[in-house]
Amino acid sequence: MKKILPFHLIIGIVLILVSCQTKKENATRSTTNTNQNIEAKIDSILPRLTLEEKVDLCHAQSKFSTKGVARLGIPEIWMSDGPHGVRAEISWDSWDYAGWTNDSITAFPALTCLAATFNPDLAGDYGFNLGEEARYRKKDVLLGPGVNIYRTPFNGRNFEYLGEDPFLASTLVVPYIKGVQKNGVAACVKHFALNNQEHWRDVVNVEVSDRALHEIYLPAFKAAVQKGNSWAIMGAYNKFRGQYTTHHKLLTNKILKSEWGFDGVVISDWSSTHSTLEAANNGLDIEMGTGTDGLGTTTENHYQHYYLANPFLEKLKSGEISEAVLNDKVRRVLRLRFRTNMKANRPLGSLNTPEHHEVARKVATEGIVLLKNDDNFFPIEDKAGLTIAVIGENATRSMTAGGGSSELKPQFEISPLEGIKARFKNAKVLHTMGYETGVSEYDVVHPPTLNQDSLKTEAIKLAKSADVVLFVGGLNKSHLQDSEGDDRQQYGLPFGQEALINDISNVNENLGFILLTGNAVAMPWLDRVKGLMESWYLGSMAGHAIADVVSGDVNPSGKLPFSFPKALEDNGAHAFGETSYPGVDMTQHYKEDILVGYRWHDTKNIAPLYAFGFGLSYTAFELENIASDKENYTKNAHIKIKCDVSNTGNLAGAEVVQVYVGKKDSKVDRALKELKGFTKVTLDKGEQKSVTIEVPVEALAFYNEEKSDWEIETGDYQIYVGNASNNISETLKITVK
């Protein structure tokens, strides 16, 4: 016999549903009215602007600002790098720092760390807190986040991006953007598109299939536009099929603005504009950085000589370019202002608050990935009589300095050594450098000033006398490492670190490695260390976050957002030689096509050193009772994967359940499996939770090059559920009718 709810409960439920629907309709109506009001205001402004004033709105007036229209009360637009903190103030006409004393900020962890959290809610907190700092610094556009796909471990800027998987990057970029823009600051998603290396970045021509373009390299940008409602997009330096991407007919006009319906502004990367006609007709709205000496010793690079300045004005006056083209740009830059510095009730922002520091620390601790933990090397107990030798230059070196445009000037930066000393008050913590890298400038690294043999001798001596050795090494933000402007030149660790690790392990086998990088590295020394943590570049709270995990105050839950190949040639981009990376005669062909990262390893059966999605914990988890809600689905349905997650260990912790999908009998070549869903679940010891991950059937589509459109194949699909791309607990079969 069916139970019937009491009448008053039925009425209550109906009222709740009606209320929710009313709120949704009111929110939609409010957004629509706001947009209509903005467009009406723009309509009233456009006729009042002179041709010259309109053109002035489309190019820089300084390194990081564009003109306003003073007589109409239209303010300037002020921009700032970068994706993980608001950059120190730059001079008007040069790249020199302005020398302000009030522009110190909170440095948040680099985006590789954010990606490793697999936590969309935390990505929203990250964006919001960063946006508050940008707003306080009176910035209208924040030049980030970066969503270029990790294709090669040599790319100097990988640390600024969200990993190798388009679904992961798409999932995390949306809350980041929304968080930033809640502060009335535009997120400027970069670099559109195919800017996947720094070497030859301003001249290299990328050749890639339409499938790889749409399935791998564009999804995060598409999500940023259609789900994140990003107000700005930054062009890239490189070419695609012979045309510069900053003003690209296919990418910018057809895909971004027409197919995706992007209504924001396209901003050039600094000096990435190359033609007045192409910039005008192919969708560039604001040109930045083409010249640098607007008020100095020469007028050669004055802002009025930009491609979208006087040359643009002349072609408008001659009729070679229609004024309708200009009006579309002006409409977009005015729309940007109404969303930012001309918006009523815009928040005021805040700087260096305890909340900002706490979010930075939270992202850092959730992003640290435990890769190896033999004999339970980690966590390390703080106890009297214990001597910890901390060895390595990275234990004290600033990781917010350097790296190119993302360099930061934090109010403080807790080094790994400081954090470990502050946490381990009972133990004796000693430090020596072990090696030195030398001082780096943007395009040159000066040789070390200290005697390397002496540093090595001192490190071995200290290691002999210690109970525990923590080697803090990896890469840094110098030129030819994790830095803008060029790529790495070796897959192994630089500066003699590999030999030093081997020598230390010979005198003390109780050795752990805290690895600071934004890229994968070769690990011929892996069997010499008991414990290994990938700690990324963690910003202001780096040392505290590292100490949180080393001590066990925080149980690590980070997962790798990109694969670590055993050897460089095991990476898909490098498997085809120079024609694929870095290119031949300034042209490169993405010969691995859609098989980027773990897709390459899985499909070609090449075992990685560490797989995408991998990360250990101080506790243990089991995934059980994995099932789909049904076996057959229509094309407009959602696949629901249910799973019980149990914490079978002795500590509270978090696990990331990952859902991959593959199709073995596809009519086109496919990867063995692709990430299509994930969820992070936190459990007390002994606790079990049931989770459900939804995958829309439309997410199983491939890009059909013959139709230039997406296509969902009918037939059988394999659903892989696990906690890493190479650690699958259950494989299910479902059918799309």
Tell me the pLDDT tens digit for each residue of 282-324: 999 999 999 865 555 566 778 999 999 999 999 999 999 999 9
**Spatial separation of the C-alpha atoms in residues 324 and 309, rounded to whole Å:** 16
Residue corresponding to tokens 């003003």: 247
Residue corresponding to tokens 């499909």: 603
pLDDT at 552: 98
**Spatial separation of the C-alpha atoms in residues 572 and 598, rounded to whole Å:** 9
Query: Which parts of the chain register pLDDT below 50?
Result: 1-2
Cβ burial, residue 733 (10 Å; 0-12/13-18/19+): exposed
**Spatial separation of the C-alpha atoms in residues 323 and 321, rounded to whole Å:** 7
pLDDT at 321: 98
How far from the centroid of its chain's Cα atoms is residue 658's Cα? Answer: 19
Show the tokens assigned to 50. Answer: 């002179």
Query: Per the omega criterion (within 30 degrees of 0), is the bond before 82 cis?
Result: yes
| Distant-in-sequence, close-in-space partners of 383: CB < 8 Å, separation ≥ 6 | 426, 427
Q: Tell me the backbone φ, ψ of residue 735, rounded to 5 degrees.
A: -125, 135
pTM: 0.94
Q: Which residues pair with 593 in a beta bridge?
A: none
Q: Point out the catalytic residue in the list 269, 382, 487, 602.
A: 269
**Local structure of residue 213 (DSSP, 8 states):** I
**Spatial separation of the C-alpha atoms in residues 76 and 96, rounded to whole Å:** 21
pLDDT at 94: 87
Q: Tell me the backbone φ, ψ of residue 656, rounded to 5 degrees.
A: -110, 115
269 tagged catalytic: yes
Residue corresponding to tokens 């040392």: 543
Looking only at the bridges linking them, the beta strands covering 653-662 and 715-724 are antiparallel
| Distant-in-sequence, close-in-space partners of 319: CB < 8 Å, separation ≥ 6 | none
Q: Please give, one letter per residue, the 3-state secondary structure of 517-557.
A: CCCCCCCCCHHHCCEEEECCCCHHHHHHHHHHHHHCCCCCC
**Local structure of residue 193 (DSSP, 8 states):** T
225-251 tens-digit pLDDT: 999 999 999 999 999 999 999 999 999
**Spatial separation of the C-alpha atoms in residues 671 and 631, rounded to whole Å:** 22
Averaged confidence pLDDT in the chain: 95
Looking only at the bridges linking them, the beta strands covering 265-267 and 232-235 are parallel
**Spatial separation of the C-alpha atoms in residues 121 and 118, rounded to whole Å:** 9
List the one residue out of 351, 672, 370 whose CA is nearest residue 514.
370
328 three-class SS: helix
| Distant-in-sequence, close-in-space partners of 697: CB < 8 Å, separation ≥ 6 | 633, 634, 635, 636, 637, 638, 639, 712, 736
Q: How far apart are the first and last CA of the chain?
A: 35
pLDDT at 2: 45
Q: How far is CA 114 from CA 120, 183, 219, in A?
A: 9, 20, 18
